[in-house]
A = this chain, B = another copy of it.
Amino acid sequence: MSKRTIGILTGGGDCPGLNAAIRGIAKTSILDYGWNVIGIQDGYYGLMNDLKRELTFKDVSNILPLGGTILGTSNKANPFASLEEGKKPIDVSDRVVENLEKWNIDALFCIGGDGTHAIAHQLSKKYPNIIGVPKTIDNDLMCTEQTFGFDTACSFVTESLDRIHSTAQSHHRVMVIEVMGRYAGWIALEGGIAGGGDIILIPEMPFSWKKVVESVKVRSKLGKRFSIVVVSEGAHPDGEDMVVREVIKDSPDPLRLGGIGEMVADRIEKETGHESRYTVLGHLQRGGSPSFFDRILATRYGVAAARLAKENDFGKMVALRGTDIVSASIEAATEGLKLVTPDMELIKAAKSVGTSFGV
Protein backbone atom coordinates (compact mmCIF):
# COMPACT_ATOMS: atom_id res chain seq x y z
CA MET A 1 0.00 0.00 0.00
CA SER A 2 1.75 3.15 -1.09
CA LYS A 3 -0.77 5.79 -0.02
CA ARG A 4 -3.34 4.66 2.45
CA THR A 5 -6.74 6.04 3.30
CA ILE A 6 -7.89 5.82 6.87
CA GLY A 7 -11.24 6.48 8.51
CA ILE A 8 -11.89 7.87 11.99
CA LEU A 9 -15.10 7.73 13.97
CA THR A 10 -16.06 8.78 17.51
CA GLY A 11 -18.77 6.78 19.29
CA GLY A 12 -20.67 6.91 22.58
CA GLY A 13 -21.17 9.82 24.96
CA ASP A 14 -19.42 13.15 24.67
CA CYS A 15 -15.99 13.23 26.30
CA PRO A 16 -13.28 15.89 26.60
CA GLY A 17 -10.23 14.99 24.52
CA LEU A 18 -12.00 13.49 21.49
CA ASN A 19 -10.74 16.26 19.23
CA ALA A 20 -7.22 15.92 20.61
CA ALA A 21 -7.29 12.22 19.72
CA ILE A 22 -8.70 12.87 16.23
CA ARG A 23 -5.96 15.46 15.71
CA GLY A 24 -3.29 13.03 16.92
CA ILE A 25 -4.35 10.31 14.48
CA ALA A 26 -4.90 12.71 11.58
CA LYS A 27 -1.74 14.79 11.94
CA THR A 28 0.47 11.71 12.30
CA SER A 29 -1.23 10.11 9.30
CA ILE A 30 -0.83 13.20 7.14
CA LEU A 31 2.58 14.48 8.31
CA ASP A 32 4.45 11.27 9.10
CA TYR A 33 2.85 8.82 6.69
CA GLY A 34 1.29 10.92 3.93
CA TRP A 35 -2.08 9.18 4.17
CA ASN A 36 -5.55 10.41 3.29
CA VAL A 37 -7.88 10.87 6.24
CA ILE A 38 -11.65 10.44 6.15
CA GLY A 39 -13.80 11.63 9.03
CA ILE A 40 -16.90 9.49 9.51
CA GLN A 41 -19.72 11.51 10.99
CA ASP A 42 -21.87 10.64 14.02
CA GLY A 43 -20.08 7.41 14.93
CA TYR A 44 -21.35 4.11 13.55
CA TYR A 45 -24.43 5.93 12.28
CA GLY A 46 -22.25 7.60 9.66
CA LEU A 47 -20.69 4.27 8.69
CA MET A 48 -24.17 2.88 8.10
CA ASN A 49 -25.52 5.94 6.35
CA ASP A 50 -22.67 7.12 4.19
CA LEU A 51 -21.88 10.29 6.14
CA LYS A 52 -18.25 11.23 5.74
CA ARG A 53 -15.87 13.95 4.64
CA GLU A 54 -12.18 14.38 4.07
CA LEU A 55 -10.17 15.72 6.99
CA THR A 56 -7.35 18.00 5.85
CA PHE A 57 -4.46 19.26 7.93
CA LYS A 58 -6.32 22.55 8.31
CA ASP A 59 -9.46 20.79 9.55
CA VAL A 60 -7.56 19.34 12.49
CA SER A 61 -5.55 22.46 13.30
CA ASN A 62 -6.55 24.41 16.42
CA ILE A 63 -9.00 21.75 17.61
CA LEU A 64 -6.81 20.53 20.49
CA PRO A 65 -8.49 22.66 23.19
CA LEU A 66 -12.05 22.12 21.96
CA GLY A 67 -14.55 20.02 23.89
CA GLY A 68 -16.92 17.70 22.04
CA THR A 69 -16.04 16.07 18.72
CA ILE A 70 -15.83 17.74 15.33
CA LEU A 71 -17.05 14.44 13.85
CA GLY A 72 -20.26 14.24 15.88
CA THR A 73 -21.19 11.09 17.74
CA SER A 74 -24.06 8.77 18.37
CA ASN A 75 -24.60 6.52 21.32
CA LYS A 76 -27.42 4.46 19.87
CA ALA A 77 -26.21 3.42 16.44
CA ASN A 78 -25.18 -0.25 16.21
CA PRO A 79 -24.55 -1.91 12.83
CA PHE A 80 -25.42 -5.28 14.34
CA ALA A 81 -28.73 -4.09 15.73
CA SER A 82 -29.75 -1.12 13.69
CA LEU A 83 -32.86 0.71 14.73
CA GLU A 84 -32.85 2.98 11.74
CA GLU A 85 -34.49 0.81 9.17
CA GLY A 86 -37.61 -0.40 10.85
CA LYS A 87 -39.11 -1.33 14.13
CA LYS A 88 -37.10 -4.46 14.79
CA PRO A 89 -33.33 -4.09 15.09
CA ILE A 90 -31.59 -5.59 12.07
CA ASP A 91 -28.01 -6.45 11.22
CA VAL A 92 -26.58 -4.04 8.64
CA SER A 93 -22.95 -4.87 9.25
CA ASP A 94 -22.46 -6.16 5.73
CA ARG A 95 -23.46 -2.81 4.37
CA VAL A 96 -20.96 -1.17 6.68
CA VAL A 97 -18.17 -3.38 5.37
CA GLU A 98 -19.24 -2.60 1.81
CA ASN A 99 -19.08 1.10 2.61
CA LEU A 100 -15.58 0.76 4.05
CA GLU A 101 -14.46 -1.03 0.92
CA LYS A 102 -16.27 1.34 -1.40
CA TRP A 103 -14.52 4.26 0.29
CA ASN A 104 -11.14 2.47 0.07
CA ILE A 105 -10.63 2.67 3.82
CA ASP A 106 -7.44 0.77 4.67
CA ALA A 107 -7.79 1.21 8.42
CA LEU A 108 -10.66 2.22 10.67
CA PHE A 109 -10.04 4.05 13.97
CA CYS A 110 -12.83 3.70 16.51
CA ILE A 111 -12.53 6.18 19.38
CA GLY A 112 -14.93 5.28 22.16
CA GLY A 113 -15.76 3.48 25.36
CA ASP A 114 -16.84 -0.09 26.05
CA GLY A 115 -19.91 0.04 23.78
CA THR A 116 -17.91 1.39 20.84
CA HIS A 117 -15.16 -1.19 21.38
CA ALA A 118 -17.66 -4.06 21.71
CA ILE A 119 -19.06 -3.18 18.30
CA ALA A 120 -15.52 -2.69 16.95
CA HIS A 121 -14.63 -6.17 18.13
CA GLN A 122 -17.66 -7.70 16.43
CA LEU A 123 -16.97 -5.72 13.27
CA SER A 124 -13.33 -6.81 13.22
CA LYS A 125 -14.45 -10.34 12.39
CA LYS A 126 -15.70 -9.04 9.04
CA TYR A 127 -13.31 -6.13 8.61
CA PRO A 128 -10.15 -6.75 10.57
CA ASN A 129 -8.23 -3.49 10.02
CA ILE A 130 -9.53 -1.78 13.13
CA ILE A 131 -7.68 0.18 15.82
CA GLY A 132 -9.39 1.19 19.05
CA VAL A 133 -8.75 4.33 21.09
CA PRO A 134 -10.11 4.28 24.66
CA LYS A 135 -12.12 7.28 25.81
CA THR A 136 -14.67 7.58 28.54
CA ILE A 137 -15.11 9.90 31.46
CA ASP A 138 -16.04 6.80 33.52
CA ASN A 139 -12.52 5.27 33.30
CA ASP A 140 -14.09 1.80 33.30
CA LEU A 141 -12.30 0.32 30.30
CA MET A 142 -10.18 -2.76 30.86
CA CYS A 143 -6.56 -3.15 29.73
CA THR A 144 -5.67 0.51 30.21
CA GLU A 145 -4.76 2.37 33.37
CA GLN A 146 -6.65 5.45 32.26
CA THR A 147 -8.98 6.70 29.56
CA PHE A 148 -8.93 10.30 28.46
CA GLY A 149 -11.89 12.36 29.65
CA PHE A 150 -11.64 11.01 33.18
CA ASP A 151 -9.19 13.64 34.40
CA THR A 152 -11.33 16.48 33.02
CA ALA A 153 -14.51 15.05 34.51
CA CYS A 154 -12.88 14.56 37.90
CA SER A 155 -11.40 18.06 37.73
CA PHE A 156 -14.89 19.42 37.29
CA VAL A 157 -16.19 17.31 40.18
CA THR A 158 -13.34 18.62 42.35
CA GLU A 159 -14.08 22.25 41.51
CA SER A 160 -17.78 21.66 42.11
CA LEU A 161 -17.09 20.22 45.55
CA ASP A 162 -14.95 23.27 46.34
CA ARG A 163 -17.94 25.46 45.43
CA ILE A 164 -20.40 23.36 47.39
CA HIS A 165 -18.18 23.44 50.48
CA SER A 166 -18.78 27.13 51.09
CA THR A 167 -22.54 26.69 51.03
CA ALA A 168 -22.41 23.58 53.20
CA GLN A 169 -20.32 25.37 55.80
CA SER A 170 -22.32 28.60 55.75
CA HIS A 171 -25.67 26.84 56.11
CA HIS A 172 -24.50 23.90 58.27
CA ARG A 173 -26.03 21.60 55.73
CA VAL A 174 -25.49 18.14 54.35
CA MET A 175 -24.82 18.61 50.66
CA VAL A 176 -25.18 15.55 48.43
CA ILE A 177 -23.59 15.59 44.98
CA GLU A 178 -24.53 12.95 42.45
CA VAL A 179 -21.86 12.25 39.85
CA MET A 180 -21.63 10.07 36.74
CA GLY A 181 -19.75 6.80 36.33
CA ARG A 182 -22.40 4.20 35.38
CA TYR A 183 -21.47 0.87 36.96
CA ALA A 184 -18.07 2.11 38.13
CA GLY A 185 -17.31 4.38 41.08
CA TRP A 186 -14.10 5.94 39.75
CA ILE A 187 -15.41 9.47 39.29
CA ALA A 188 -17.07 9.51 42.72
CA LEU A 189 -14.01 7.96 44.35
CA GLU A 190 -11.27 10.11 42.85
CA GLY A 191 -13.27 13.30 42.41
CA GLY A 192 -14.59 12.78 45.92
CA ILE A 193 -11.15 12.36 47.50
CA ALA A 194 -9.78 15.39 45.67
CA GLY A 195 -12.77 17.51 46.62
CA GLY A 196 -12.62 16.49 50.26
CA GLY A 197 -15.88 14.50 50.29
CA ASP A 198 -16.72 13.24 53.79
CA ILE A 199 -18.81 10.30 52.59
CA ILE A 200 -18.36 8.62 49.20
CA LEU A 201 -20.87 6.07 47.91
CA ILE A 202 -19.96 3.88 44.94
CA PRO A 203 -21.64 0.94 43.19
CA GLU A 204 -18.82 -1.48 44.01
CA MET A 205 -19.40 -0.97 47.73
CA PRO A 206 -23.16 -1.18 48.37
CA PHE A 207 -23.79 1.01 51.37
CA SER A 208 -25.75 0.68 54.57
CA TRP A 209 -28.25 3.44 55.33
CA LYS A 210 -27.43 3.03 58.97
CA LYS A 211 -23.73 3.60 58.44
CA VAL A 212 -24.30 6.63 56.21
CA VAL A 213 -26.54 8.26 58.79
CA GLU A 214 -24.10 7.36 61.53
CA SER A 215 -21.21 9.02 59.67
CA VAL A 216 -23.15 12.29 59.48
CA LYS A 217 -24.01 12.07 63.17
CA VAL A 218 -20.41 11.32 64.19
CA ARG A 219 -19.21 14.42 62.32
CA SER A 220 -21.92 16.41 64.00
CA LYS A 221 -20.77 15.23 67.42
CA LEU A 222 -17.21 16.27 66.57
CA GLY A 223 -18.52 19.79 66.00
CA LYS A 224 -18.61 19.59 62.21
CA ARG A 225 -22.00 20.99 61.38
CA PHE A 226 -21.81 20.14 57.69
CA SER A 227 -21.06 17.10 55.54
CA ILE A 228 -20.30 16.61 51.87
CA VAL A 229 -21.62 13.35 50.39
CA VAL A 230 -20.46 12.29 46.92
CA VAL A 231 -22.74 9.69 45.36
CA SER A 232 -22.02 7.76 42.19
CA GLU A 233 -25.13 7.47 40.00
CA GLY A 234 -24.83 3.68 40.29
CA ALA A 235 -24.46 3.62 44.08
CA HIS A 236 -27.14 1.68 45.92
CA PRO A 237 -27.88 0.33 49.38
CA ASP A 238 -26.72 -3.18 50.13
CA GLY A 239 -29.36 -5.64 48.99
CA GLU A 240 -31.10 -3.17 46.68
CA ASP A 241 -30.73 -2.45 42.97
CA MET A 242 -29.31 0.60 41.28
CA VAL A 243 -31.81 3.39 40.66
CA VAL A 244 -32.80 3.27 37.02
CA ARG A 245 -34.08 6.53 35.67
CA GLU A 246 -35.04 5.26 32.24
CA VAL A 247 -34.92 2.04 30.25
CA ILE A 248 -33.82 2.67 26.68
CA LYS A 249 -34.99 -0.20 24.54
CA ASP A 250 -32.54 -1.88 22.17
CA SER A 251 -29.78 0.51 23.13
CA PRO A 252 -26.24 -0.85 23.64
CA ASP A 253 -26.47 0.50 27.20
CA PRO A 254 -30.16 0.12 27.94
CA LEU A 255 -30.25 1.73 31.39
CA ARG A 256 -29.93 5.33 32.39
CA LEU A 257 -28.94 5.51 36.04
CA GLY A 258 -29.58 8.42 38.39
CA GLY A 259 -31.79 9.61 41.19
CA ILE A 260 -29.87 8.11 44.08
CA GLY A 261 -28.54 11.55 45.10
CA GLU A 262 -32.02 12.82 45.89
CA MET A 263 -32.82 9.65 47.83
CA VAL A 264 -29.68 9.97 49.93
CA ALA A 265 -30.39 13.63 50.75
CA ASP A 266 -33.99 12.87 51.74
CA ARG A 267 -33.03 9.95 53.92
CA ILE A 268 -30.26 11.84 55.73
CA GLU A 269 -32.51 14.84 56.39
CA LYS A 270 -35.25 12.58 57.71
CA GLU A 271 -33.01 10.51 59.95
CA THR A 272 -30.64 13.17 61.27
CA GLY A 273 -32.79 16.30 61.21
CA HIS A 274 -29.96 18.11 59.39
CA GLU A 275 -31.06 20.22 56.46
CA SER A 276 -29.90 18.40 53.32
CA ARG A 277 -29.73 19.40 49.67
CA TYR A 278 -28.67 17.54 46.55
CA THR A 279 -27.14 18.60 43.25
CA VAL A 280 -26.78 16.42 40.15
CA LEU A 281 -23.69 17.43 38.17
CA GLY A 282 -25.05 15.79 35.03
CA HIS A 283 -23.80 16.70 31.59
CA LEU A 284 -21.47 19.39 32.90
CA GLN A 285 -19.06 16.50 33.57
CA ARG A 286 -18.87 15.60 29.87
CA GLY A 287 -18.27 18.98 28.30
CA GLY A 288 -15.69 21.69 28.23
CA SER A 289 -12.09 22.00 27.18
CA PRO A 290 -9.98 18.94 28.02
CA SER A 291 -7.58 19.23 30.95
CA PHE A 292 -3.81 19.34 30.53
CA PHE A 293 -3.59 15.63 31.37
CA ASP A 294 -6.31 14.58 28.95
CA ARG A 295 -4.86 16.62 26.09
CA ILE A 296 -1.52 14.86 26.53
CA LEU A 297 -3.06 11.41 26.91
CA ALA A 298 -5.42 11.81 23.95
CA THR A 299 -2.62 13.16 21.76
CA ARG A 300 -0.32 10.27 22.66
CA TYR A 301 -3.14 7.77 22.07
CA GLY A 302 -3.83 9.29 18.67
CA VAL A 303 -0.20 9.21 17.56
CA ALA A 304 0.28 5.66 18.87
CA ALA A 305 -2.91 4.46 17.15
CA ALA A 306 -1.69 5.76 13.79
CA ARG A 307 1.61 3.97 14.39
CA LEU A 308 -0.20 0.66 15.05
CA ALA A 309 -1.91 1.04 11.68
CA LYS A 310 1.41 1.81 10.04
CA GLU A 311 2.73 -1.44 11.47
CA ASN A 312 -0.42 -3.33 10.40
CA ASP A 313 -0.96 -4.28 14.00
CA PHE A 314 -4.76 -4.41 13.85
CA GLY A 315 -7.40 -5.57 16.30
CA LYS A 316 -5.63 -3.59 18.99
CA MET A 317 -6.59 -0.81 21.34
CA VAL A 318 -3.95 1.70 22.50
CA ALA A 319 -3.55 1.79 26.27
CA LEU A 320 -1.65 3.46 29.11
CA ARG A 321 0.69 1.43 31.31
CA GLY A 322 2.71 3.51 33.77
CA THR A 323 4.25 6.23 31.67
CA ASP A 324 4.15 4.12 28.51
CA ILE A 325 1.67 3.88 25.69
CA VAL A 326 1.18 0.20 24.90
CA SER A 327 -1.53 -1.82 23.18
CA ALA A 328 -3.99 -4.54 24.10
CA SER A 329 -6.31 -6.67 22.02
CA ILE A 330 -9.72 -5.10 21.55
CA GLU A 331 -11.18 -8.46 22.48
CA ALA A 332 -9.52 -8.44 25.92
CA ALA A 333 -10.54 -4.84 26.47
CA THR A 334 -14.21 -5.70 26.06
CA GLU A 335 -14.41 -8.74 28.27
CA GLY A 336 -15.73 -6.80 31.23
CA LEU A 337 -15.52 -3.47 32.99
CA LYS A 338 -12.67 -2.16 35.11
CA LEU A 339 -14.22 -1.60 38.52
CA VAL A 340 -13.10 -0.28 41.89
CA THR A 341 -12.05 -3.03 44.30
CA PRO A 342 -12.89 -2.33 47.94
CA ASP A 343 -9.44 -3.28 49.21
CA MET A 344 -7.40 -1.22 46.78
CA GLU A 345 -4.82 1.26 48.09
CA LEU A 346 -6.91 4.25 46.96
CA ILE A 347 -9.83 3.19 49.15
CA LYS A 348 -7.49 2.67 52.08
CA ALA A 349 -5.89 6.06 51.53
CA ALA A 350 -9.32 7.69 51.49
CA LYS A 351 -10.22 5.98 54.75
CA SER A 352 -6.94 7.12 56.29
CA VAL A 353 -7.85 10.76 55.71
CA GLY A 354 -11.25 10.19 57.26
CA THR A 355 -13.57 9.35 54.36
CA SER A 356 -16.51 7.06 55.08
CA PHE A 357 -17.85 4.69 52.40
CA GLY A 358 -21.03 3.99 54.30
CA VAL A 359 -20.09 0.36 54.88
Contact = CB atoms under 8 A, between A and B. Distances in A.
Given A68-B169, A167-B283, A292 B353 contact: no
A349 B14 contact: no
A151 interface: yes
Interface stretch (A115-123, A318-326, A327-335): A318-326
Q: Which of A13, A155, A293, A322 has the most CB of B within 10 A?
A: A293
B194 A295 contact: yes
**How many copies of the chain does the oligomer comprise?**
4
Interface residues of A, number: 82
Interface string A166-203: 11011110010000000000000011011010000000
A170 B279 contact: no
Nearest to A150: B292
Given A194-B296, A292-B155, A300-B345, A284 B14 contact: no
Contact of A166 (B14, B157, B169, B292): B14
A28 interface: yes
A164 B345 contact: no
A299 B353 contact: yes
Contacts of A348: 303
A163 B68 CA distance: 9
Given A284-B163, A287-B164, A287-B166, A352 B292 contact: no
Contacts of A42: 172
A288 B165 CA distance: 8
A336 interface: no
Interface string A271-308: 00000011111111011110111011001101110100
Interface in A255-283: 277-283
B352 A28 contact: yes
A238 interface: no
Contacts of A302: 353
6 contacts: A24-B349, A27-B352, A64-B194, A69-B170, A72-B172, A155-B292
Nearest to A160: B284
Given A14-B166, A69-B170, 16 more contacts: A14-B170, A24-B353, A27-B352, A64-B194, A66-B166, A163-B287, A164-B283, A190-B292, A279-B283, A280-B282, A300-B345, A303-B348, A303-B349, A303-B352, A304-B345, A322-B322
Nearest to A163: B287
A354 interface: yes
Contacts of A24: 349, 352-353
